[in-house]
Structure 1
Amino acid sequence: MIDKPCRGLRKDAERNRQRVLAAARELFAIKGMEATLNDVAHHAGVGVGTVYRRFATKDELVEAIFENGIDEVVGLAEHALRQPNSWDGLVWFVERQCRLTATDRGLREMVYSKAYGGYRVECARERLSPLIKQLVERARQDGYLRPDVEATDMPVIGLLAGTVGEWAGHVDPEVWRRYVALLLEGMRCRPDQIPLGVDALDEDQMHAAMHGWNPAG
């Protein structure tokens, strides 16, 4: 009999935590990382104290949202690898990865910036890089993907989609899809294709680039 109220409280606490997380992800997607814990509480329709009981600092909340976002991208990559056609799998992944970066400003700032990335990005890269390499190498070996496309091009394509979404999303929220389609078309392997004039960033260069951007907020 004594345990029942405790279980009820734990359930309520977890519901509140998930409610705060969902509200924060939605708010950060729109406003980016400039949103505060007070903003999150207002957006979630809960008291500020409820947010601070679940997440003592903004960094704790960012950590939880980032982990959730990376889990989502890892799941996309794993699903893409299960598709029998390697080109279809790669296209499916790129389109959905770009949807995330084009529509979720907060996740984009977390992944691509030194201000909110750091160690989190390193851990995410360890999980994602092998999967993305498999997607790229499989499509390249099957003759679908031009030979000079590298796995490190995929995050850059995501950033390009995000930039288009941030710049023109208020005019047409789907316009990023046009440019992703153009990029994918350019990635296909064709006879007599002219090699790209510039190499892809290697992993060290990608690391340096991601730690060089410091967005406002």
Structure 2
Amino acid sequence: MTTPAESTGTPGHQPETGLRADAERNRERILAAARRLYAAQGLCVSMAAVAREADVGKATLSRRFATREDLVTAVFADRMDGYAAAVTEALADPDAWHGFTGYIQAVCAMQAADRGFADVLTMTFPAAKALEARRAGAYEGFLRLIDRAKDTGHLRADFVPEDLVILLMANAGVVAATGDDAPDAWRRLVGHMLRSYATPGAPLPPPAGAPAPTALYRAMVRLSRTGGDVS
């Protein structure tokens, strides 16, 4: 016959199902904290800062995510899926030039929405194989997108894949520098870059308006106070 003590288990001992539930809750708290910090500050955030934001110990964080690359992969897996899906959608566009310009705008919008993802797109994580596999797949799709856009005669013949990397680096800098002061400044940059990629007479999206001078001034003041550090 089972006694009450036997049915409830050893005093102070948490059943395995409870331990699993606690572990999952901690994992979700860590991911939510990392998403908030990365989105606001970029990938410069330390693992210790993530642990504090999640209100867990460093040991708990390291059990869930042994390395920074593990945490970054978990946080940005869905965004990298979206990045890859943007290429697929662009390749499916019957108007190859429209697909190309739409893809450039979509990827830069992803950067603008999340500073952490802006960093992810301009950095490599050799140890994060799943993340890098998604990036490689998106890159292969972009190569096909370039060829299709050039076949329309609207994309300059001297455009190379590295031009996208340069744009993403520049856009990440603009997003970080302007912040909440001029959050749409990146659209102006992307518009100018699309014009530089296009052949004369190529159809282009309407240009975005320039940020208000006062907004850019506030961004410049903020940068001067931080010594130009946008991290």
TM-score (norm 1): 0.70
Which of 58, 77, 88 is the matching residue for 2:87?
Answer: 77
1:29 shift after superposition: 2.4
**Residue number in structure 2 paired with 1:148:** 158
Look at both structures and tell me which one has the larger radius of gyration over its CA atoms: 2
**Following superposition of structure 1 onto structure 2, how do residues 60-209 of structure 1 map, counting pairs within 5 Å?**
60-113=70-123, 117-120=125-128, 123-190=133-200
Q: Deviations over 1:165-185 (max 9, x none)?
A: 122224201101101011112
Q: Which runs of 4+ in 1 moved over 6 A?
A: 5-9
Q: Deviations over 1:153-206 (max 9, x none)?
A: 112111111111122224201101101011112222226xxxxxxxxxxxxxxx
Which of 52, 68, 77 is the matching residue for 1:58?
Answer: 68
Asked if 1:47 corresponds to 2:56, the answer is yes
Give the structure, 1 or 2, with the largest relative contact order (CA under 8 Å, sep 6 or more). 1
- Is 1:34–1:216's contact at 8 Å kept on the other side of the alignment? no
Consecutive unaligned residues of structure 1, counting only runs of 5 or more, are 192-214
Q: Deviations over 1:42-98 (max 9, x none)?
A: 434x43365344213333212333544432211111122122211221122111211
Asked if 1:17 corresponds to 2:27, the answer is yes
1:33 shift after superposition: 2.5
Tell me how many residue pairs correspond in the alignment.
187
**Quick check: 150-159 or 61-70, which moved more?**
61-70
**Alpha-carbon distance change, 40 to 146 in structure 1, aligned in 2, over 3 angstroms:** same
Q: Counterpart of 1:39 in structure 2: which amino acid?
A: A
What is the distance in 2 between the residues matched to 1:7 and 1:79? 42
Identity of aligned residues (%): 33
**Alpha-carbon distance change, 15 to 175 in structure 1, aligned in 2, over 3 angstroms:** same
What is the distance in 2 between the residues matched to 1:70 and 1:125? 7
**Quick check: 46-55 or 8-17, which moved more?**
8-17
Q: SS of the counterpart of 1:33? A: coil
**Alpha-carbon distance change, 179 to 16 in structure 1, aligned in 2, over 3 angstroms:** same
Q: Counterpart of 1:80 in structure 2: which amino acid?
A: A
- Is 1:23–1:43's contact at 8 Å kept on the other side of the alignment? yes
